């Protein structure tokens, strides 16, 4: 359904370091520069960070969350830990299992340096 997700950032270098570490836990290589942007590509889509092209300050979406698929709870833990170690902050409940209407999920939430809310989600085979 989606081709890419792009978020605005206020400090491109700090955000590049954050996302290089965070997405590296998923086996995704460092961001590729393109003007005032960095792109991270996987076989299933593209994630990008950018200084807003309209010159206005970067802001995060209130109520918005960007979810990343994990291959295991351990990968979700590594994703969360890398984010916190590189300027992110934990939010929501601590990483762990949740019972949801769609079944059992392992979730780990954090915010990037600009406040964008991210989720590491592992869904076991049902």
For the stretch 72-93, pLDDT in tens is 999 999 999 999 999 999 998 9
CA distance 1 to 74: 27
Evaluate if residue 68 carries a pLDDT over 80: yes
Q: How many CA atoms lie within 13 A of 74 on its CB side?
A: 0
pLDDT in tens, 40-57: 999 989 999 999 989 999
Q: How many CA atoms lie within 13 A of 6 on its CB side?
A: 12
Q: What contacts 67, CB < 8 A, 6 or more positions away? A: 118, 119, 120, 121
Q: What contacts 57, CB < 8 A, 6 or more positions away? A: 10
């Amino acid at each position: 359904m989606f081709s890419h997700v792009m978020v605005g950032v206020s400090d491109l270098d700090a955000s590049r370091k954050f996302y290089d570490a965070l997405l590296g836990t998923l086996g995704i290589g460092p961001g590729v520069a393109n003007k005032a942007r960095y792109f991270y590509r996987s076989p299933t889509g593209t994630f990008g960070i950018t200084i807003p092209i309209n010159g206005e300050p970067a802001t995060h979406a209130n109520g918005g969350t960007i979810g990343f698929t994990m291959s295991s709870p351990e990968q979700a833990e590594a994703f969360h830990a890398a984010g916190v170690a590189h300027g992110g902050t934990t939010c929501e409940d601590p990483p762990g299992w949740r019972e949801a209407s769609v079944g059992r999920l392992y979730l780990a939430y954090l915010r990037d340096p600009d406040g964008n809310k991210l989720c590491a989600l592992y869904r076991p085979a049902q």
